[in-house]
Amino acid sequence: MQRIPLAVNGTLMRGLALNGNLLAVGAIFVREAKTEPAYRLWSIGDRHPAMLRVRDGGRAIAVEVWEVPLDGLGLLLLQEPPGLCIGRLRLDDGEDVLGVLGEPYLCEGQREITEYGGWRAYMERTD
């Protein structure tokens, strides 16, 4: 079975709300990682994040890399919240992988959380 690396940055991560979707398609956790410092992150109603690649003002964002069976990738994408998509992203070690990104419209009017460096850190914050 062919597997491809997929970087996830939100509710698909281990122990979070949609992690079961990864497990259901037979994905295998590989490692924790960070993106290169070229991304910004928004909280979409505190339900899930959306990450965008930017030219300026980006930061490294915490992600998890999973190996996903190629035949399970479509089902996984169909289960993601509207406005999230799969695209290419670059990790801080220079590796290019597929990853979950947000469409720009989704971030409009939402809270930017880039300063936290990741969804998990944002969710664990103390206000």
Q: Sheet containing 84-90: which strands, arranged edge to edge?
A: 28-34, 62-69, 3-8, 96-102, 84-90
Q: Are strands 39-44 and 111-112 parallel, antiparallel or unpaired?
A: antiparallel
pLDDT at 126: 62
- How many degrees, rounded to 5, is the angle at CA 28 between CA 24 and CA 33? 125
0.85 cut: is pTM over it? yes
**What's 102's DSSP letter?**
E
User: Mean pLDDT in each 10-residue stretch from start to end of the chain (127 residues)?
Assistant: 95 97 98 98 97 97 98 94 96 97 97 97 84
Residue carrying the six token digits 């928004």 = 42
